Amino acid sequence: MFFKLVSQNSKRSRKENGLFFSSLLISILAFYLVLSLSQQDVMVFLSKMESDAVNKLLALIPAFYAMALIILFFLIYYASKFQLERRRHEFGVYLMLGMRRTRLFAMLLAEDFRGSVISLLLGLPAAALLAELVSLVTARLVGLGIVGHRLSFSLDAALWTAVGFLLVKLAAFLILSGKISRQEIGSLLTETPEGARKQMHPAAYGGAVLVGAACLAAAYAMAIRGDAWDGIKRMGLALILGVFGTFLFFWGLRLPLGLAARLGNSNRRLHVFNFRQIQENVIRRSGALASCSLLMLAALCCFGAGVSISRHYGDSGQHVLDYTFHGTEDEGPAGQPLGEREDAGAKGQGSGENDKTAAIRQTLAEHGLEGYFSNLFEMKIGHIGTSEDTGNAFQMESAMSALREMEPSRARDMLLNNLSYTTYPYVVSLGSYNQLLEAAGLEKLELGAGEAAVYMDREYASVGGAEELLGRVLEARPKALLGGEELYLTGPVQTVNLVTDRSITLNFALILPEELFGSCTQGEYGSYLNGVLDKSTVEHASLMALFSDMNQKLDSTGLPYESYLQNMGRQLFYMVASSYITIYLAIIFLIVANTIIGVQFLISQQKSGRRYRALIHLGAAYAGLRKSARAQINWYFGIPAGMAAFGSLFGVRALFTGILPSGAKTDLPGMMAVSAAMVLALCVAEFCYITAVKRSSDRYLLALMVPEREE
C-alpha cells in the first residue's frame, strides 16, 4: 500500500507539474553536454591542434559545473516548495488520519527519489544522443564535412550528472520537508494568506523608477562605449550600476502599476482586481523578479552573442589552399615569419622556382606525394632592394592626401595611421598571386606597365572598413614612388590569403608585375610552395580524415609545412568555446528564471484562494476568472521578460565591444541581426513557459469552482 501510494503521488506530481519536470530534463541535458565535452570527437580533434587552448577551456568545466549546481538548487527549491505548498492540505489529512511524521517524511523522500530516477533514466539517454548530434553539427558548420564518427558515451559525465542532480534534489528536499514537518496539523489544513507590506509615499516609487532607469542607461553606455572593458574597477562599476538600477526599477514599479489600475478602463471585468493582484505580487517579490530579469538578460545575451560569434567564426575565411611548404623561417622587420627571404641563397630564377622551392617539390615527388596535389605553385614575396633608405623606399602621398580629404571618422584615422608606417612594404609577384586567384576560382589580376595593386591580409583589411576606404582611394589611380620610380596604384584591394594559415600575414603589400618584381627585389625574395589537394581525393574522404592522413605522410618527409587543419582547428575551437559554453549558460539561466517566476505566481495565486472564492460567490464565472488569471500571468512574466529583451539589445552589443577582435567588428550589423533572431527564438521558449503556467492556473481555478462542503 505504501509503495502504491508513492507511485500514484509521483505520477500525479509529474502530470500536474509538467513544467518543472521538463525543466529538470533540460537541466540534465545541459549537465551531461558540458561534462562530456572532453570526450566528444570534436574536442578530441581539437586537442591535437589547439591543445593549450582546449586544456584551458576544459579546466573551466568544473567551475561551470559547480555554478550550475548552485543555480539548479534554487530552481529545485522553488519548484519543490510550490509542489509541497499545493499539498499542504493533503499532508494535514495524512497526519490527522494517524500517519506518523517519520512515515510521511519517508513517503515524500521515496516520491522525490522515484521522480529523480525517472528524470535521469529519460534525460541521460537523450543527453547522450544530443551530445553526438551537437558534435556532428558543430563539425559540419566549420567545414569538416562528413566526419568519420563513432558513438561514444561518457560514463564519468553520466555519473557526475546523476550525483550532482541527486545531491541537489536531496538538499532542497531536506530543507523543505523540515519546514513542513515542524508545522501543526491545523496550519496545514488551512490556507495562510500573505500579510500586508508597509507602503511608502508614491514619490519614493516614482523616484526609484527614474533613478533605476538612469543607472541602467549609464551601465549600458559604459559597456557599449568600451569604458567598462578598460579595467576591473570600471567593469565592477558598470555591473553595480546595472544590478542596482534593475532592483531599484522593479521596486518602484508599484507606482506605474497603481496608475494603470486607476486610469485604465475600469468598466472591464476584473480590471482593477487584475492590476491590484499584479501590484501586490510585484511589491512582495520585487527582488526576486529583478533577479529573474537579470538571469533572463544573461541568458539572452549569452545565447545571442554566443550563436552570432560562433556563426562569424564558422563563416570566416575562404578555403583556397590546403598546404604551404617553406624552408627555415626568418623574421621580417614587421615580425612576420618570412621563409627564406634572404638566407640560403634563395635567389629568383626569372619566372622559374628558386632552388629551395624546387628541392621541396623534389622531396614530395621522392615520397610519392606530389600526385596527391592538383596544383603546386610558388608564392614569391620579397622586399624592396633598390633603395637603402628603408624609411622612404615607398611613398604614397597622393593616396594619403585623398584619405585626409575624406569625411573625418575613426576608421579613416585608423587607416591613415596604419598606412603611415608602409614606407618599406613587402612586394608580391603578380604571377604567383594570379596562380592563387586561379586556385580560388577568381579572375586573374591584370596590371599594366607602371601599375601596382595593393594587398592587405583579410584580418587587417576588415578592421574599421579599411578595405572599403582604401578601395575608394584606389579608384582614382593615385601616383606613388617605389624606389624612386613612379607607379600607379590600382584597385580593388586584394585580400586572398597568400598562404594556408598564418606563416605570413601582411598589413600592407604591393603586387607587382613579374618584371618589376624581379628588378625591385634584385632577385632576392622569400618563397613558399602552396599546394591544393586533388579534388577527387577530397570528395571521397572527410576533411578531418584526409588531412590527418596526409599530415602523417608529410611528417615522414621532414618538410616544414602548415595545413588547413590548423586553420580549421582554430575556427572550430572558437565555435565550441563560444557556442557550447554560452548556450549552456543561457539554458541554465533561462530555466531557472522562468521556473522561479512561474512557481512564485502559482504560489501567490494559491495564497489568494479566498479572494477567488469570494469572486465566485459574487457570481464570477470560470471563463472570467480564467481570463483574469491569464492576464495577470502575461503581466507577471512580461515585465521581467520585456526588460530583459530590451536590455539584451544593449547587452549583446556591449559583449561584442568587449570580446570581439577588431577584425570581427566590421560585421557588427550582421552579427546583431543574428543575435536579434536568437533573442526572438528564446522569446518563443518564453511563450512556452507562459503557456504551461497558464494551464496550471486554469486547473487550479477549475478546482475552485467545485463548491466546498460546509463543515
- Looking at 82-96, 238-252, 551-565, which range is the least confident one? 82-96
- Looking at 313-327, 468-482, 493-507, 689-703, which range is the least confident one? 313-327
Quote the pLDDT of residue 137: 66
User: What does the pLDDT average to over 354-366?
Assistant: 85
Provide CB contacts within 8 A for 669, sequence distance 6+: none
Provide CB contacts within 8 A for 4, sequence distance 6+: none
50-65 pLDDT, tens digit per residue, is 566 667 667 777 877 8
Quote the pLDDT of residue 570: 64
Quote the pLDDT of residue 430: 93
95-138 pLDDT, tens digit per residue, is 888 888 888 888 888 888 888 888 899 989 988 888 777 767 65
644-663 pLDDT, tens digit per residue, is 888 887 877 777 766 665 55
User: What does the pLDDT average to over 537-543?
Assistant: 58
Strands, DSSP E only, in 451-577? 451-455, 479-482, 485-494, 509-512, 525-533, 561-563
228-270 pLDDT, tens digit per residue, is 666 677 778 888 888 899 999 888 887 887 777 676 555 566 7
**Helix (H), strand (E) at residue 44:** helix 41-49
**Is the model's pLDDT at 343 over the cut of 70?**
no
C-alpha span between 557 and 534 (Å, rounded): 19
**Is the model's pLDDT at 146 over the cut of 50?**
no
Quote the pLDDT of residue 140: 61
Quote the pLDDT of residue 434: 94
DSSP class of 344: G
Quote the pLDDT of residue 436: 92
pTM, to two decimals:
0.65
Residues above pLDDT 90, as percent of the chain: 9
Quote the pLDDT of residue 707: 64
Quote the pLDDT of residue 433: 93
**Is the model's pLDDT at 427 over the cut of 90?**
yes
| C-beta atoms surrounding 413 within 10 Å | 13
More confident residue, 37 or 128: 128
